[in-house]
Amino acid sequence: MAEKIAGGERLSDADAVTLFETPDILAVGALADAVNRVKHGDRVTFAANQHLNPTNICILRKTCVFCSYARLPKEEGAYRYTLEQVFAEAALTDGITREFHIVGGLDMGAGIQYYSDIFRGLKERYPYVHIKALTAVEIAHLARIESMSVADVLRALREAGLDTMPGGGAEVFSPAVRETIADRKLAADEWLDVHRTAHALGIRSNCTMLYGHVETTADRVAHLSALRGLQDATGGFLAYIPLAYHPDHNELGKTLGREGTATSGFDDIRNLAVGRLYLDNIDHIKTHWVMVTPYLSQAALAFGVDDIEGTMVREKVYHEAGAQTAQHMALPDILRLIRGAGKIPVERDALYQVVREHGDDDGSPVVHAA
Ligand code: SF4
């Protein structure tokens, strides 16, 4: 396989199975690192970003059994922010943030007007901040409750300020897995269709795979194959982010008897490295430090990874599922993490355009001009 990779030949599905199953994780990592170095050298990007989760109310609360975040409307802990609450939370990092990452539940009380008002309000206050918002599942939900097409929803949201879309909600495309972990959720083809539509409108997006629950190796490879196929057709994906399943405070974790046992470090590293090798048409492979710890994310920088997410400010979704990491990482800490791996930190925006090259500065924030 090394010759194939060195020659720039595309890996087959059978190759991906081998990469997922070989015990020689260091060999997989060396291959992924070599490919990554050709694409990105020693540069590792991150975003000065803030996660905003306007509502945790979700109509799929009972059927996405892997989810710890959602609530029914009258359930303890349910919330839907007012616009003022959203703007108050956004003000936590006024002048520093370059990107708002906005996702939430499928809330019947949060329609297109609600999100349009949020996006407009944020753009008025922070015109220099990029809005990466709403998964394909949320976009399809808005289309359904507003009786609009997906394309019209995307056009309306772009008009209000949407810049790009995150890659969540894909889980694993296998119908059998979806039946077990999320049987009412948007089907795989529909998830891909929303992204295809976004890309056709010029809206770039990310893509993901939730791993470490009941999926098989074949399921993983089929999922990656579908992502690679769509990327061949549209070129619209910016980054691939494998998402580690967290088993705490959700039905699936109880059913599997997995509470307190998240994914293994080997599997986290392997998913990132295989993503780099198999997804030859997606430029960026991102490790999500909140899910797998900053330490593992740092190690992953030697296994094919070129992006380490960002500052986040107040991450909620994975902390509901038992993530033990902090909810925020200060800029100097991100710089230390990246430099500790012998890499060069580069701050980026959501489109992976360079915001600031961090030579040997201490990470003191630059307040952006409006
Ligand atoms: S995973 Fe998303 S769609 Fe499913 S219950 Fe949680 S918030 Fe709702």
Ligand 1 center–CA 101 separation, angstroms: 16
pLDDT digits over 12-52, tens only?
A: 999 999 999 999 999 999 999 999 999 999 999 998 888 89
Nearest ligand 1 atom to the CA of 138 is 3
Ligand 1 neighbour 64 (Cβ under 6 A) = yes
User: What percentage of the chain reaches a pLDDT higher than 70?
Assistant: 92
pTM score of the predicted model: 0.93
Ligand 1 neighbour 243 (Cβ under 6 A) = no
Over the chain, what is the mean pLDDT?
91
What SS3 string covers 54-118? Answer: CECECCCCCCECCCCCCECCCCCCCCECCHHHHHHHHHHHCCCCCEEEECCCCCCCCCHHHHHHH
Ligand 1 neighbour 69 (Cβ under 6 A) = yes
What would the mean pLDDT of 52-61 be, rounded to a whole number? 95
Burial class (CB in 10 A: 0-12, 13-18, 19+), 232: exposed
Q: How confident is the model at residue 363 (pLDDT cuts 50, 70, 90)?
A: low
The most confident of the ranges 5-9, 162-166, 356-360 is 162-166
Extents of the domains making up the chain: 11-357
User: What percentage of the chain reaches a pLDDT higher than 90?
Assistant: 76
Residue 117: pLDDT over 90: yes
- The span from the CA of 204 to the CA of 289, in Å, is 23
Ligand 1 center–CA 53 separation, angstroms: 12
Nearest ligand 1 atom to the CA of 63 is 5
Task: Give the pLDDT of residue 5.
Answer: 92
What would the mean pLDDT of 302-306 be, rounded to a whole number? 98
- The span from the CA of 262 to the CA of 58, in Å, is 24
pLDDT digits over 319-361, tens only?
A: 555 555 656 788 888 999 999 999 999 999 889 999 888 876 7
Task: Give the pLDDT of residue 323.
Answer: 58
Q: What does the block give as tokens for 320?
A: 């509901």
Residue 94: pLDDT over 60: no
Task: Give the pLDDT of residue 324.
Answer: 59
Q: Residue 354 carries which side chain, given as an amino acid letter?
A: V
Ligand 1 center–CA 133 separation, angstroms: 15
Output the CATH code of domain 11-357. 3.20.20.70
Task: Give the pLDDT of residue 184.
Answer: 93
Ligand 1 neighbour 181 (Cβ under 6 A) = no
Ligand 1 center–CA 168 separation, angstroms: 10
Task: Give the pLDDT of residue 369.
Answer: 47
Ligand 1 neighbour 67 (Cβ under 6 A) = yes
Ligand 1 center–CA 68 separation, angstroms: 8
